[in-house]
Amino acid sequence: MGCGRNNSDDFRSKNCVCEVVRAIKDIQDNAVDQDDCPDCPSCFMEPLGSLVSPARRDPVDTRVFVLKTADGSPFHAFFSGENNACVSIFFRVEEVFDNCCATLRVLIPGRREGGNFQPVNLVAGGDKCCINLERVCQVERFRASNDCITVDLTCFCAIQCIADVNLGLCN
């Protein structure tokens, strides 16, 4: 049960995070153009490739997003180590199934260094159990990992769309 909701079937069947993840999956699969919305970009409304700029239509195959737990902290998962980085808060939806479960691909956070992709270690400093939010702000690029995680989407209270990117997964 997520975010203080009760066990009522009416509430459980209308989980907004689940609906948004389903919409992201549909957008990734179909790349359907919709009317541009002048308000805050929504994971529901924006066609793939227009999250940053409505006029931008670069070839993209992924809507990167972050999930947040009941206490507001970003949900994280592990991926096969690359240099010192092996934890990410960034995901791509691969499949939604069984009412509100999803398989998410863990994305490797990175930045550009000399034209190359350099992974960003999100867990740094003295506290090895927590995400360093200053490091999150350094992330400007993403790369697909080979690691996926299956989650119950009803356990999350918020979702934030980060960027539309081309990970080369659909080629």
| Angstrom distances, CA of residue 75 to CA of 2, 65, 90, 126, 158 | 13, 11, 9, 20, 10
Measured distance CA(43)–CA(19) in Å, rounded: 10
Handedness of CA 104, 68, 15, 23 (dihedral sign): negative
For residue 130, the model assigns a pLDDT of: 81
Q: What pLDDT is stored for residue 37 in this prediction?
A: 39
For residue 75, pLDDT beyond 90: yes
Query: Percentage of the chain with pLDDT > 70?
Result: 70
Return the pLDDT at 56. 53
Mapped onto helix, strand or coil, the DSSP state of residue 26 is: helix
pLDDT in tens, 116-155: 999 998 986 655 668 888 899 999 999 999 999 999 999 9
Q: Is the pLDDT of residue 99 over 90?
A: no
Q: Residue ranges of the domains in the chain?
A: 9-165
SS3 112: strand
**Bigger pLDDT: 79 vs 8:** 79
- What does the alpha-carbon distance between residue 148 and residue 35 come to, in Å, rounded to a whole number? 32
- Do the beta carbons of residue 145 and residue 88 sit within 8 Å? yes
pTM, two decimals, is 0.81
Candidates 165, 170, 171; CA nearest to 49 is 165
Q: How far apart are CA 77 and CA 147, in angstroms?
A: 9
| Ranges 29-33, 52-56, 81-85: which has the least confidence | 52-56
**What's residue 18's pLDDT?**
94
